[in-house]
Chains A and B, each alone.
Chain A
Amino acid sequence: MDITVNILLTIATAATPLLIAAIGELVVERSGVLNLGVEGMMIMGAVGGFGAGYLTGSPWIGLLAAIAMGAVFSLLFAVMTLSLATNQVATGLSLTLLGLGLSGMMGTSFVGQPGERLPNLYIPVLTDIPVVGRLLFGQDPIFYISIALTAAVMWFLFKTRTGLTLRSIGDSHTSAHALGIKVIRYRYLAVIFGGACAGLAGGHLSLVYTPQWVENMTAGRGWIALALVVFASWRPWRVLAGAYIFGAVWIGQLHAQAFGIPVPSQLLSSLPYLATVVVLVLISRNKRLTMMNTPASLGQPFVPDR
């Protein structure tokens, strides 16, 4: 029984940063903006979170710093693509490159220093309940944030008027503009939200997952998050399911190896990407389904006529 609980806990830790980064990107893409800079914002969050935690001795300040770092960094993308109408794909890619380089430079003095870990939740009695106690009441704080965030985004996008407006901008920014909706302002907020989420996901890496700073520590998780959004066909609950499926596949193959079952680990490492390709093929076969979920003006720059 203990091993099952441990496996589930490990899966949750592996899935949490993917989930948070992907949920943020989902909101951005729903507003019609494609930000490929998730990896860059994530690594900036990781270095900012670790640095602040290390310097102040408080991982909680680190957590806030990670969020702030991601948000500020995404602002760069927002100014470029929204105010200056640059190409979103190119700008997003350069954001990733810049983030990886800049974080390495900022983190030079943190290399080889043990950091502060965010403590796991502990509620007397409740956490001590066998099996479910540790799963429900004994995880790290960011795990709870990730679940709450998913629910909040779901509610916001599909149950509030502002969410509806955001989605309409993503589907047709010209129509939304004609209706008098402030397209650029909405998109700015969406991009900053996405950045804050990516920063938080990075903070999870350097404050919970592996409390240390090393260059490139995101190791491609930002790209998996991007793949997840497409995998989930822009639906929040599917992002949640997808993140946990990806996490389970990864942890499952480690356990299979340790158990002595010969699985080709190279194949399993590539599963998230393969799954995304398969899903893309499947959803593109059904025109109506594609139209329903894909934000129609995704990736197109918007220049309001004056």
Chain B
Amino acid sequence: MKKLLIALMTTTAAMSLAASAQAADKLKACWVYTGPIGDFGYSYQHDQGRLEVEKALGDKVETAYLENVSEGPDADRAFERLAREGCKIIFGTSFGFMDPEVKVAKKFPKVMFEHATGYKTGDNLGIYNARFYEGRYVLGQIAAKESKAGVAGYIVSFPIPEVVMGINSFMLGAQSINPNFKAKIVWVNSWFDPGKEADAAKALFDQGADIIVQHTDSTAALQVAEERKLHGFGQSSDMIKFAPNAQLTSLTDEWGPYYISRVQAALDGTWKPDNVWLGIKDGAVKLAPFTNMPDDVKAMAEATTKKIADGWNPFTGPIAKQDGTPWLKDGEVAEDGTLLGMNFYVKGVDDKLPQ
């Protein structure tokens, strides 16, 4: 099914690209999304970034995108098609595009490739990522202040470093306020299935959690929180419209400035494969306005956000691993490499990491 879909979409994309191939002198910048751009979450935010590029660079660029491309080997064809059809710079926006992109980048040495959230680079393949964990630390602090039960429900997609890092950072934030804070973790094995996300939220609330955190893309979980008159955090986009009384804040992604700078570099001929990890201070990770909480909690959240923007890393020791063995000494800061490959929980997480 998925294969058919991709074949169909790559064909249509190819046709539209072919039609515009005459327009000379324009730099063609292309994006590959794993979800639909209508998800109002992760892929939607990347596409907003693409639109910002169009707006900022006007008729110097031309953009194209493929959406709903499934992760894994199937993605090869999507990248290859874009490269063949004249895209000069291609952004792969999901972790699972890593190996396909490495493969295709070798085949097309003249095309510039960028991959989000991965760790493999190449001569013409740069990587970029956002330090979402910085925001999740703030979410943890708010959750610990606002939860009466002292238990949060945490809906997660797949056990990749990005997600594990988020859980750890959230727990460190929460424990900095309430050392006994607990999070119940549910894996839904999907980035995007509103129904499953809603079911997971209901299950977590039924089992005593009173705040919901998600590392999945839809607004469904927040809507359940709204219905039950409880609280939660949005993800990727500001979801306040869906949960005006439930959303405390939302961890949003702003890719526009980065995309503009990279496409501009490609235009100027100064593009080089890079390895950047943008955070709150770069404006790539933003927290939506703090709502539905008392002023002192809001002040605390703002202070922590500022502290992180000024350079403090939530992964600063002393931190022990889940089994109690020490990980970071007092004052020691985690290395980026360790974080990007994170496959263990910190102390206090009440879950067994699926392997």
Contacts and interface: CB of A to CB of B under 8 A. Distances in A.
B241 A114 contact: yes
Interface in B185-210: 185-190, 192-200, 202-204, 206-207, 209
B45 to A, nearest CB: 11
Contact of B223 (A97, A112, A211, A223): A211
A113 B223 CA distance: 12
Interface stretch (A61-69, A171-179, A248-256): A248-256
Interface in A206-242: 209-217, 219, 221, 223
Contacts of A259: 184, 207
A96 B2 CA distance: 11
Question: From DSSP, what is the main secondary structure of chain A's interface residues?
Answer: helix
Nearest to A252: B203
Interface string A9-34: 01001100000000000000000000
B204 A258 contact: yes
A209 B196 CA distance: 10
B203 A215 contact: no
Interface in A170-210: 205, 209-210
B195 A210 contact: yes
A254 B40 contact: no
Contact of A97 (B4, B202, B203, B354): B4
Contact of B203 (A93, A100, A107, A255): A255
A125 interface: no
B4 A14 contact: no
B206 A3 contact: yes
Interface stretch (A81-89, A152-160, A264-272): A264-272
A221 to B, nearest CB: 7
Interface string A95-121: 011001100100110011110000000
B218 A210 contact: yes
A6 B202 contact: yes
B155 to A, nearest CB: 9
B350 A260 contact: yes
A112 B241 contact: yes
Interface of B: 1, 4-5, 8, 35-40, 44, 68, 153, 184-190, 192-200, 202-204, 206-207, 209, 218-220, 223, 237, 241-242, 350-352, 354
Given A210-B219, A214-B36, 12 more contacts: A7-B206, A111-B39, A112-B237, A205-B195, A215-B36, A215-B68, A216-B35, A216-B39, A219-B190, A258-B185, A258-B207, A258-B209
